[in-house]
Amino acid sequence: MSETATPAASLPDDPGTLIDPDGDRPAARSGRSRSLLRFIVKKLLTTIGLLFGVTVLTFLLVQAVPGDPSTTNLTEAAQQDPEIVAAYKAKWGLDKPLPVQYLTYLNNLLHGDLGTSQSTGNSILSDLAKYVPATIELAIPAMVLSLLISIGLGMWAAVRKDRAADHTIRAGALIGLSTPSFWLAIVALYIFFYVLGIAPNGGRLSTKFRPPQDITGMYTVDALLTGRPLVFWDALWHLALPVLVLTSLTVSILIRFVRSAMLEVLDQDYVKAAYAKGLPRFTVLRRHVLRAGLVQVVTVGGLAFASLLSGTVLIEQIYSWPGIGQYAYLAALNLDLPAIMGVGLFVALVYILVNLLIDVLYGIIDPRIRVS
């Protein structure tokens, strides 16, 4: 409220403005950016804490395992030789007391060094750089397809509530939800590769092709970037089956959320109001219902995406897909501590980033939570 010099004269004309009309917007904007900054800083602090927690948790977990990496990484004969075992432990720092091992790890971590995998012999970072793009290449198409299908079918089911279409879609989703993923993957491989012969038998690329030059690490993208159409199609062909299996599982999860979210929205007054305005049904569904329903789908979708990105151990295993899930599986079996820690950190990071993405999407979709 601006103070006026001659209140007696100005008061009767005061239109009752409570906030200075011209001063308002810039103030609001700077306030918004300030609170956004605060939000991001807070998120970053949480992130660091969480990553720290992940390292502690992994470290303790792996220490709880009886036996040490030397038993899986040396032949039985070599293990009998104390000299060799000592040399191995010295090489990997396993001869030092636990807290020292942990502090060494943390110190290296702060310098951007995630350590060296005991089972692949590579630095964890370069391992991740190799395995993560493969998983991303699976996760993104699976997620996009899942969203498209589940939003489409979920909305259809909601609009046709309690009719045949609704029942069919729900039953399909329920069956999908009840199917063991690894079983579905095996059956799909059997049918599409073994019986029908229309799908490849796993892997990322036919052996006849050289993998494309490593730019993004995703074969399809790299093949396009380097102008190798045949490689692109081949990589795409290899993607098809795992992506479809992942999609069918994710769709089953998402569709129920989409349906109930849309049902809730369809029940809202503003949907009635939109019809009352004379808007055609399609416009109402697309513009009013979809948008509001998406808010609730974003969280579930985000978490589904996070879990796709953190690697689906079983699917990658069955389709010989060298992704982060396979890497994690091998690391866990070999008790490869640095690798498990690396995967843990990566997954935590994905989780945090996806949560951040969810927050940002919320802000974009719903103006009410843009500031807070």
Q: Which residues in 307-336 contact another protein (CB under 8 A)?
A: 307, 310-311, 313-314, 317-318, 320, 322, 325-329, 332-335
Q: Does 161 bind another protein (CB under 8 A)?
A: yes
**Which residues in the 238-267 window bind another protein by CB under 8 A?**
none
Distance CA 334, CA 311 (A): 18
- Asked if residue 355 lies in contact with residue 165, where contact means CB atoms within 8 angstroms, the answer is no
Q: Does 82 bind another protein (CB under 8 A)?
A: no
Residue 116 φ/ψ, nearest 5 degrees: -120, 135
Pattern 273-312, another protein, x by CB under 8 A:
xxxxxxxxx-x---xx--xx--x-----------x--xx-
User: H/E element holding 63?
Assistant: helix 21-63
- Structure-token match 């007696």, residue found: 8
47 vs 108, which CB is nearer to another protein?
Answer: 47
Q: At its nearest, how many Å lie between another protein and the CB of residue 152?
A: 16
Distance CA 138, CA 307 (A): 12
- Structure-token match 């300030």, residue found: 34
Q: At its nearest, how many Å lie between another protein and the CB of residue 148?
A: 11
Taking CA atoms, 266 is separated from 115, 161, 262, 270, 309, in Å, by: 53, 11, 6, 9, 32
Q: What is the CA radius of gyration of the chain?
A: 27
Distance CA 153, CA 314 (A): 27
**Where do the H-state alpha helices sit in 267-289?**
269-276, 281-283
Member of 36, 43, 61, 240 binding another protein (CB under 8 A): 61
**Which range binds another protein by CB under 8 A, 50-58, 100-108, 135-143, 150-158?**
50-58
User: For residue 301, what are its two tokens?
Assistant: 């979708």
Q: 116 - beta bridge partners?
A: 123
**Which residues in the 169-198 window bind another protein by CB under 8 A?**
174-175, 177-183, 186-187, 189-190, 193-194, 197
Q: At its nearest, how many Å lie between another protein and the CB of residue 224?
A: 5
Member of 36, 74, 125, 357 binding another protein (CB under 8 A): 74
**Which residues in the 223-242 window bind another protein by CB under 8 A?**
224, 227-233
Distance CA 295, CA 288 (A): 12
Member of 44, 49, 107, 213 binding another protein (CB under 8 A): 49
244 vs 348, which CB is nearer to another protein?
Answer: 348
Residue 311 φ/ψ, nearest 5 degrees: 90, 135
**Which residues in the 26-45 window bind another protein by CB under 8 A?**
27-28, 30-32, 34-35
Member of 95, 113, 359, 366 binding another protein (CB under 8 A): 366
